[in-house]
Each structure stands twice: as C-alpha cells, then as structure tokens.
Amino acid sequence: MTDFKIKEKKDYNLTELANSLYNIAEAAYQTGSPWKKEQYLADLKNALTNYFILEEDGHLVAFLAYQKILDEVEISNLAVHPDVQNKGYGAFLMKLVDKISGANQIFLEVRVRNFSAQNLYLAHGYEVISRRGDYYQNPPEDALIMLKKVGPIQKNEF
C-alpha cells in the first residue's frame, strides 16, 4: 500500500462525498453502483451510518459503510476503485470493522455471483448463514447473508 489515510464522513462535504462514493461504486461493481447518488447522500446524513473512507495520495479510492446497533454491525457497502484493487485496501477496511468497539457480530449481504467479494469475506472469517431470493435488482439476483462473530458470543450459546 502506498501513502493512504483513513477518514470519516464528518471530514467531507456530504454532497461531494456522495458523488465520489457513487463514482467509486459505479466503477468497482460489475453491475454498476447498487445505489443512486441520492441514496448515498441520504445514507451519509443518517446518524446511525458510519463510513471508513480511504484516500490514496489525496484521492478517495475506497470506502466501507456500516451501521452499529447495540452489539451488531451490518456492512452495507464496500467498494474499492478498480485502479487500486489488489493492493489490500479491501482487506484493510475489513480489519477496521473487526475493531469496532462493542461489536460481537458483523453481518453483510453479497451477490451470489460476486465471487471476489465472497472470497474476501471468507478469508476474513465470515460464513454464509442464509440466502435471500431476488434481494438485488438490475440484474435480479439472490444475496448470501454472511456473518462473523467477533465478540464474546460464541456459536451454540443461544
């Protein structure tokens, strides 16, 4: 990894940040951005949503959006611009999520045909726990629901 910084949404003008996030996701996802610019802006304005934003040499190149409610974290979006993929930025962002204070479980959804993302998540200790039919649109596709236990709750305890 070269010179990079991690920032949060409070460090930016939210309208400009929403445009940048959209552009990264549009380039990164095979099917284009899953959200419209307006959806990014609404998410950024949501007090429950947090972002890890990665800048390389002063340019926004990757982000991870999440919400933490009680002891659960849900990752809602992760994208790394294609120009900087395979530098370990996605893995770095995933490690940051593991360190969120008070989190015991981390959930996410991923397209069933997004094998590169699934491999990243599996490599970081996530496991498939369920499948949601037609969760994604454009094109319609099922989602795999993945979970990682990071806190004191262990399997078979509930």
What is the end-to-end Cα distance of the chain in Å, rounded? 41
Question: Measuring CA to CA, how many Å separate 27 from each of 30, 48, 50, 79, 100?
Answer: 8, 26, 22, 9, 28
H runs (alpha helix) in 88-138 = 89-98, 115-123
Q: Which value, to the nearest 10 degrees, does the dihedral of the CA atoms of residues 71, 109, 33, 141 take?
A: -160
Q: Where are the domains of the chain?
A: 4-149
111: β partners: 143
Domain 4-149: CATH superfamily is: Gcn5-related N-acetyltransferase (GNAT) (3.40.630.30)
- Strands ordered across the beta sheet of 4-7: 4-7, 49-56, 59-69, 72-80, 105-111, 141-149, 127-136
pLDDT at position 155, please? 52
Q: What tens digit of pLDDT does each residue of 46-89 get?
A: 999 999 999 999 899 999 999 999 999 999 999 999 999 999 99
Q: Burial level of 22, CB count in 10 A (0-12/13-18/19+)?
A: buried
Contact 64, 93 (CB under 8 A): yes
| Axis-axis angle for helices 89-98, 115-123 (nearest 10) | 50
pLDDT at position 154, please? 54
What is the spatial distance between Cα 29 and Cα 22, in angstroms, rounded to a whole number? 11
User: pTM score, two decimals?
Assistant: 0.90
Q: Which residues of the chain have pLDDT under 50?
A: 1, 157-158
